[in-house]
Structure 1
């Protein structure tokens, strides 16, 4: 085992995850979950990991205990040194950006590179107990771009109690096998309008209770979502067909059962934003990442679209908005001299 020279650390930058939708929340055909997802250039996690006398975490993060536990587990796996992780820029938590999984995987990759040890992403996910629901972040961190994963094979007793297995990430635990990548594409250079709303941040036990009350969805609705993802959304991206992509996104947002269940729990302001966006000529398509409260849109009239959002910000419906693009590559890691790494 080799450790990076003293005085150096590893800097990591990992893109946020946007979710178009989870796909199969019925599970009766033998598989469940699966997600259509995208890496966003902004916001991004930035962190630095270096050898230290004691394992530690600094910087603003909601996941300090989980990071500590992962660093300790990786130290044993890699036969490596104690290390310190500093979160230089955190992903917003509980917004729909995949912040927890992305943060832990990025830190794990930085520690492995610090030790100059190849540690598979699936092993890092196993050590930190992630990937049990969506295969998005555990695959996007190595690839970026647009991705559809195939979810998880059901255990033999799935039909006896689907609620045991249709769970949010926090409660699903680690995947026994990383969800397979079915589609991976470079996303076109279409600007993504990120909209941070003042909506409901669903996580923890309330999210678990919502999953239990909402799932499984009807079989026919899972089929509808799978068809829209694989025969409309993905081909439009592959062909860089912007109008077809916008039609597919709006159908996912307004016509699919599971997304409507996610929208219905949001406060009136978020519902108003989505429905106004559908009717406005300056918004070509709109979506909401998982249960929100982050929404996103596509527009060919940015001046008019942002003027509308500025009005909603004045009304207290929107907190912030900005344009970004997809990131069509995985997380970036580099050696940095300590003291110059921030």
Structure 2
């Protein structure tokens, strides 16, 4: 471990958010469970700083404040493990929490990566995710910080006693604990197709409510897990690699409207989310739409942007949609760089 280069320097990290197409195997009879198809978006993005300070401290904007306790605990844990210097973490631009952007894992791992550079420690996201108690279900957020783009991970090897009580291990990420990071099966740049991010008025599924949902829904039938795995590997991933927009939209819509677990997730959502998805299915404004994780975040693909914007504007006026905007894939890893810090603690980087 080495000291920071000087008390006049801090570290900034900027990265995108994670959106999920689907978890893959929520049955586990093959000996592995979970796995996820996901991608990184440019907007919304996360920006955080680790700055010289006399003690460990964390502050955040309104979005990032949802993870203050977890990030503070992680900073203390990493400092103790690495015998690192004290520092102040500032989440200047946080991701909307409990919405489907992977905010918890992305925030923790991003701040951990920035602190590692600040402390002069060479470590990857896998170790930081374990320290944060993350990546126990999917390695999407941790892997996307390192890679960006489109990603399919292979989930986790089941323990020997998995069959005794599958529900013990088929749990949301925050309850699974930090384990070995899932292996990456597919990692590729996502094509230059605009992504229409849509935030409908919906339910934020997290904490005990999410754990209870998993407990009463899983394991899903083995045949349904096989259908989802086939759709992800033979349709969704191949269409991304071949930049086949039509095949991609067909695969996305299958996962949204026909895959077993996604239907269970949609069943838990608000009437506004269900209305949005049904309207998207019947109309011609968008070519495909997905709901990330438990939602309410949805994201769509269209060749008719003006029609899509007009449609969503009407849904916003009707109280169905809160907000929407066009984004795109972030096909690069997180940006991590040194930034100068003034005596009053302000950075001089805009």
TM surpasses 0.5: yes
Q: 1:80 aligns with which of 78, 81, 84?
A: 84
Q: 1:174 aligns with which of 164, 175, 178?
A: 178
Do the aligned residues in 1 keep the contact of 2:10 with 2:338 (CA within 8 Å)? Answer: yes
Partner of 2:147: 143
Q: 1:246 aligns with which of 241, 245, 249?
A: 249
Q: Secondary structure at the match of 2:6?
A: coil
CA distance in 1, matches of 2:60, 2:246: 42
Structure 1 residue 217 displacement after superposition: 0.3
CA distance in 1, matches of 2:140, 2:227: 20
Q: Counterparts of 1:106-125 in structure 2 under 5 Å?
A: 106-125=110-129
Partner of 2:189: 186
Partner of 2:284: 281
Structure 1 residue 116 displacement after superposition: 2.1
Structure 1: where are the runs of 5+ without partners?
none
Normalised to the residue count of structure 2, the TM-score between the two structures is 0.96
CA distance in 1, matches of 2:174, 2:78: 20
Q: Secondary structure at the match of 1:62?
A: helix
Q: Counterparts of 1:141-220 in structure 2 under 5 Å?
A: 141-175=145-179, 177-220=180-223
Do the aligned residues in 1 keep the contact of 2:55 with 2:88 (CA within 8 Å)? Answer: yes
Structure 2: where are the runs of 5+ without partners?
none
Flag as ranges the 4+ runs of structure 1 deviating above 6 A: none
- Greater shift after overlay, 69-78 or 236-245? 69-78
Q: Secondary structure at the match of 2:238?
A: helix
Do the aligned residues in 2 keep the contact of 1:3 with 1:80 (CA within 8 Å)? Answer: no
Structure 1 residue 282 displacement after superposition: 2.0
Do the aligned residues in 2 keep the contact of 1:262 with 1:291 (CA within 8 Å)? Answer: yes
Partner of 1:132: 136
Structure 1 residue 69 displacement after superposition: 1.1
Structure 1 residue 2 displacement after superposition: 2.9
Q: Secondary structure at the match of 2:66?
A: coil
Structure 1 residue 322 displacement after superposition: 0.3
- Greater shift after overlay, 331-340 or 99-108? 331-340
Partner of 1:22: 23
Q: Secondary structure at the match of 1:138?
A: helix
Do the aligned residues in 2 keep the contact of 1:48 with 1:341 (CA within 8 Å)? Answer: no
Structure 1 residue 161 displacement after superposition: 0.4
Q: Deviations over 1:204-247 (max 9, x none)?
A: 10101000010000000000000000000000000000000000
CA distance in 1, matches of 2:59, 2:209: 29
CA distance in 2, matches of 1:7, 1:99: 29
CA distance in 2, matches of 1:277, 1:187: 23
Do the aligned residues in 2 keep the contact of 1:225 with 1:252 (CA within 8 Å)? Answer: yes
Q: Secondary structure at the match of 1:44?
A: strand
Partner of 2:264: 261
Q: Deviations over 1:90-139 (max 9, x none)?
A: 10000000000000000000001112210121110111100101111111
CA distance in 2, matches of 1:102, 1:220: 32
Do the aligned residues in 2 keep the contact of 1:4 with 1:115 (CA within 8 Å)? Answer: no
Partner of 1:324: 327
Do the aligned residues in 2 keep the contact of 1:141 with 1:331 (CA within 8 Å)? Answer: yes
CA distance in 2, matches of 1:267, 1:43: 23
